[in-house]
């Protein structure tokens, strides 16, 4: 049985919900369906603005769907999930808190901020290479370091599901590659299921067990691409024929490369 099931999910935003001056409702998602297994890392790939973030927020229970169903761990999502972590594109750290206190904020909300929580926070920060920055403030960190703190904050309560909304999109290319490798290491250690939103074809292939390709808005699942690349993965993998072929399949699904051109 799948850990997560998304079935025929549709989301229509009424004109009153939109920040634009449009007087017409907007269909963000139209009949999106797929499953994912426990411990699987699934990339949600598609053009900017196609509805990927909307779907992620529906899965988290942060916004209601118009129709369809979302089931996580055998329970239908009708309100915000308790057992998940969410990493946004911007780290959104509290500037007056130290690094370790930012990570522990989730545990304060859950009223579980004890010695065990502090030990886990310290372990996570060591895992992401920030053991020397526990008492630093966010303004003293680079963008990549801040995003590492945000990742630790999302993992501190040991969630079974990690939702990531283009978390590395604002980083420079070198830092982004480093964060890709870091995520794979953390995923291996925690065993969490991961839904990872991106519009980078290369990133989707490198990270995932499977890529769900979405059409332009209103988003529908255009195709699913299994990524049969071995673990552990390293950056050299990007230069192999298997990686190039997977990128080509995703490019065709997105309409970036015509199928006839790819065949040639």
Q: Assign 15 to helix, strand or coil.
A: helix
Say what the pLDDT of residue 21 is.
Answer: 65
Say what the pLDDT of residue 1 is.
Answer: 77
Tens digit of each residue's pLDDT (9 = 90 or more) over 55-71: 999 999 999 999 999 99
What's the CA gap between 259 and 242, in Å, rounded? 17
What's the CA gap between 57 and 141, in Å, rounded? 28
Structural domain boundaries in the chain: 4-83+161-263, 93-158
Say what the pLDDT of residue 264 is.
Answer: 45
Say what the pLDDT of residue 261 is.
Answer: 55
Say what the pLDDT of residue 26 is.
Answer: 86
Nearest to 183 by CA among 233, 141, 143, 133: 233
The CATH number of the domain covering residues in 4-83+161-263 = 3.40.50.300
Query: For residue 165, which phi and psi values (nearest 5 degrees)?
Result: -105, 90
Q: Which residues of the chain are under the pLDDT cut of 70?
A: 19-23, 260-264
CB atoms within 10 A of CB 111: 7
Pairing of strands 41-45, 210-214: parallel
């Amino acid at each position: 049985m799948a850990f997560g099931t998304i079935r025929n999910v549709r989301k229509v935003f009424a004109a009153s919900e939109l920040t634009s001056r449009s007087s017409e409702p907007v269909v963000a998602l139209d009949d999106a369906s797929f499953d994912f297994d426990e411990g699987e890392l699934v990339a949600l790939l598609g053009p900017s603005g196609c509805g990927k973030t909307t779907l992620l927020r529906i899965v988290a229970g942060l916004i209601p769907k118009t129709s369809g169903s979302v089931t996580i761990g055998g329970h239908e999502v009708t309100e915000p999930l308790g057992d998940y972590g969410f990493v946004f594109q911007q780290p959104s750290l509290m500037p007056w808190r130290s690094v370790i206190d930012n990570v522990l904020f989730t545990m304060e909300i859950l009223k579980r901020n004890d010695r065990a929580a502090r030990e886990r926070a310290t372990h996570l920060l060591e895992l992401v290479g920030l053991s020397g920055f526990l008492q630093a403030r966010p303004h003293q960190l680079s963008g990549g370091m801040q995003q590492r703190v945000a990742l630790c904050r999302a993992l501190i309560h040991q969630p079974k599901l990690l939702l990531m909304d283009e978390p590395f999109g604002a980083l420079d290319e070198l830092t982004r590659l480093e964060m890709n490798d870091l995520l794979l290491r953390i995923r291996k250690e925690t065993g969490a299921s991961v839904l990872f939103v991106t519009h980078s074809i290369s990133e989707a292939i490198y990270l995932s067990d499977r890529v769900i390709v979405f059409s332009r808005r209103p988003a529908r699942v255009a195709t699913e691409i299994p990524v049969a690349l071995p673990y552990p993965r390293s950056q050299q993998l990007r230069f192999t024929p298997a990686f190039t072929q997977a990128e080509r399949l995703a490019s065709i699904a997105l309409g970036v490369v015509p199928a006839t051109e790819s065949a040639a």
